Structure 1
Amino acid sequence: MVVVNPLSSRCITYFDCLRFLLAQVVVVGHGFGFFFGYWGGFFPSKAPYIQSVAVVGFFFVSGFLICRSAMTNIRYKGGDYVRYYVDRLSRVYTTLIPCLIFVFLVDFFFSFQVSDFELGVNLTFSTFFKNLLLTPSMPFGTMRPIWSLMFEWWIYILFGGVVFFRKNWIFSAICIGVGGYYTFKVNAKGEAGHLEVIWMAGAVASMVFERIGKYAYSRYIAWASLSFAMIIYLLTCDAYNIFAGLLFSSGLLFMAVHFNGNEVSFGSRISWCFNKLAGYSFTLFLTHYTVLYWLHKMGGAGAFGLFLAFVLANIIAFVVASVTEDYHKRVSAKALNFIANIRAKTLAR
């Protein structure tokens, strides 16, 4: 059985910081495209899209943390497929539904202010429900970044089916079939290529984390991996280059090993701060493009436009997340308690 020990507080803070920074890179990357006209010019002819590189990092972190969470629940809480899928549903939909509503309201309002709302063609009920179900489709209005969630969601389904196959093989077989179809047949043929490989690399990394935690030179391995990844990215200008992505993932992994083995704490205030900052990264990821798009449409440009959009996107995401995303664990707990009560009543009969 795979040994799973709790991550150190320093390592947890590292992952919180990483999630926050990757989200900010996505915002800045899209901001450069909007307010400096870098799309089709500097990006990607001279450098890869930095927001896409950040997405690669998100997939690795997702694979690592979700696999580790599943193993922890199985070992310490007797977790089964019900807990896993309820957790995933709560995590995704406490954020997705409010963000879809936010995008609809903002797009609908500003669409009357401009005559060239080219993304308005996808502001339909059909697209809304396809996005809600996370079936691969065109993004709803200005929610362009949702494509990566559509990719990741079906990996979640596939992973759950594989891990909990012995718990309920019929349900798991369906999850493996549907998840595998969308992951390998549909999503892997898109421009992002095989991001499922990066996610799975993160899952494997979580299982061998304790074994490689003994390496004394993990920090140097991390910097070497990140450096080689950067070289490949700059040479190919391909943000989804699989070799660069795996080296990037290796760098993030060994940096986590370094922080996990360091007994010195960041301090409670710093840890709390990054936990709060990471807490709205999902909402920021789904809503920032809408903010940037409409500020650009309203005349924003240059450094000031980018700065204003960056600040406003973060403020809006923080406020929205404080009444939605922040409550995903409570929603999950209530749902699990509800299911447990139903099970108990069924057995009592």
Structure 2
Amino acid sequence: MSNTLTIGQSTTLNAIRALAAFAVLVGHTLSGVTPISWFGKIMPFQSLAVVVFFWLSGFLITYHCLTREKYSFSEYMIDRFSRIYVLYVPALIISFLVFVLFIGRTAPTAWDWIGHLLQLQHTPFARMIDGIPPITVFGGNTVLWTIAVEWWLYVFFGIAFFWRDMSAVERMFATVLAIPATLVVGYFTIWESVAWEWFLGAAFAYIYVFMPRVNWKQVLVPLAAVIFGLLWRFKKLSLASHMNMYDQQLLLLTGVAMMFIILASTNLRVSTPVKWIATKGAFLSYAMYLTHEPIRVLLSTQMNSAKPLNAWLSILICVLFSAVCAWLLEDKHLTLRKWLKKKIAPRETPLAASSTL
């Protein structure tokens, strides 16, 4: 019998996701304040929060695939497409309106639009293959590079996970997608290490689902050891001129720490208010991640965001804006994927088990 997430573990995952999104927002905002901020500038924890997002993605997607019955590659791709694009496309439009129309930055070209819609931004094709024009960051929404890497990790994992049970049509489609997926995932595994964090999360999902159930007392010692290792690595890196939050050893230690934190929360008793806050925070985390940068930059043109008080006001406005976006759009991926499955993969499948994935 496979393990399923407990209430304590689900709440912990939601809280981590909410805190990671907030850390990205706070880090990006405080990095421009005067005097120089420790959080964001000296210690760019926003980058480490991105690493945490990769781990969460690898764990949750793999856990979902392992615990869901009668799941196909077509359904998987529809789920991933719907989850990404329902908020991603509006985020592109918001970025265009803010950076181009309101601030007056250079408008994206048709190739930039195509590249972002096909998740080619920040991918290695232009760097590895001569003749492919580079894709300019959309206006200035710098977080969008991670969405492209996430997308191709989804595709790469889906092909590997479902290959044996694919239909002939699915296998043809997967073969075409396998080429860009392998290039992107290979690049971000070998040259830029962030894909390792996604695979760490995926590996832990396999371990978690099939391992014997453990309680928090059994993981305290290894968790303490990993936290000590993290602190030691932070100390070593802080001696450098620039704190590299994408350091490979730091990535690995962070992924292992996440694993033990989830195991330690197996029997965690969660009060109703705490569960509500964690759930709502996770609900708006994706919208906050995608939209905070254009709103933050727009606000900086209207007020002196170098002042700490103004910076925190900007953070509050960004949170409120993301809450509105989440309220309008967050659950719409369920509607889209239900419609797509009727058109493309008509077999009826339950949706409730993965409503937040």
Scaled to the shorter chain, the TM-score interval is: 0.7 to 0.9
- Structure 1 residues 273, 42: CA separation in 2 closer, same or farther (over 3 Å shift)? closer
The answer for the alignment partner of 1:256 in structure 2 is: 262
CA–CA separation in structure 1 for the residues paired with 2:26 and 2:283: 19
The answer for the alignment partner of 1:56 in structure 2 is: 51
The answer for the alignment partner of 2:214 in structure 1 is: 214
- 1:112-261 equivalences under 5 Å are 112=104, 120-121=105-106, 123-136=108-121, 137-168=135-166, 169-185=171-187, 187-188=188-189, 193-210=192-209, 211=211, 213-214=213-214, 216-236=217-237, 237-260=243-266
CA contact (8 A) 2:189 2:196 kept: no
CA–CA separation in structure 2 for the residues paired with 1:15 and 1:70: 17
CA–CA separation in structure 1 for the residues paired with 2:273 and 2:245: 35
Residues 179-215 of structure 1 deviation map (CA, whole Å, 9 limit, x = unaligned) = 1112213x4577xx21111100100000001426426
The answer for the alignment partner of 2:131 in structure 1 is: none
Task: Give the count of matched residue pairs.
Answer: 323
CA contact (8 A) 1:160 1:175 kept: no
Give unmatched runs, 5+ long, in structure 1. Answer: 113-119, 344-349
CA contact (8 A) 2:40 2:46 kept: no
TM-score (norm 1): 0.85
CA contact (8 A) 1:53 1:239 kept: yes
How far has the Cα of 1:163 moved from its partner?
0.5
The answer for the alignment partner of 1:296 in structure 2 is: 300
Residues 18-69 of structure 1 deviation map (CA, whole Å, 9 limit, x = unaligned) = 0000011111111121223749x9977xx44211111111111110001101
The answer for the alignment partner of 1:338 in structure 2 is: 343
- Structure 1 residues 35, 296: CA separation in 2 closer, same or farther (over 3 Å shift)? farther
CA contact (8 A) 1:224 1:251 kept: no
CA contact (8 A) 1:95 1:324 kept: yes
Which has a greater percent of helix? 1
CA contact (8 A) 2:299 2:314 kept: yes
Give the counterpart of 1:272 among 254, 265, 276: 276
CA–CA separation in structure 2 for the residues paired with 1:233 and 1:130: 36
The answer for the alignment partner of 1:106 in structure 2 is: 98
- 1:7-86 equivalences under 5 Å are 7-36=5-34, 38=36, 47-73=42-68, 76=69, 78-86=70-78
Q: Which letter does structure 2 place at the counterpart of 1:227?
A: F
Considering only aligned residues, what root-mean-square deviation do their CA atoms show, in Å?
2.4
CA–CA separation in structure 2 for the residues paired with 1:212 and 1:218: 13
CA contact (8 A) 2:108 2:136 kept: no
Residues 224-272 of structure 1 deviation map (CA, whole Å, 9 limit, x = unaligned) = 3133223313422210111111111111111101112x0x531334323
CA–CA separation in structure 2 for the residues paired with 1:305 and 1:35: 9
CA–CA separation in structure 2 for the residues paired with 1:342 and 1:43: 47
How far has the Cα of 1:144 moved from its partner?
1.0
Give the counterpart of 2:314 among 289, 309, 316: 309
CA–CA separation in structure 2 for the residues paired with 1:320 and 1:334: 22
How far has the Cα of 1:329 moved from its partner?
2.2
Q: Which letter does structure 2 place at the counterpart of 1:11?
A: Q
CA contact (8 A) 1:16 1:274 kept: yes
- Secondary structure of the residue aligned to 2:344 is helix
The answer for the alignment partner of 2:124 in structure 1 is: none
The answer for the alignment partner of 2:130 in structure 1 is: none
CA–CA separation in structure 1 for the residues paired with 2:294 and 2:44: 18
CA contact (8 A) 2:54 2:194 kept: yes
Give the counterpart of 1:88 among 75, 80, 83: 80
CA contact (8 A) 1:34 1:293 kept: no
CA contact (8 A) 2:29 2:40 kept: no
Q: Which letter does structure 2 place at the counterpart of 1:219?
A: L
CA–CA separation in structure 1 for the residues paired with 2:2 and 2:311: 43
State the percentage of identical aligned residues: 24
The answer for the alignment partner of 1:346 in structure 2 is: none
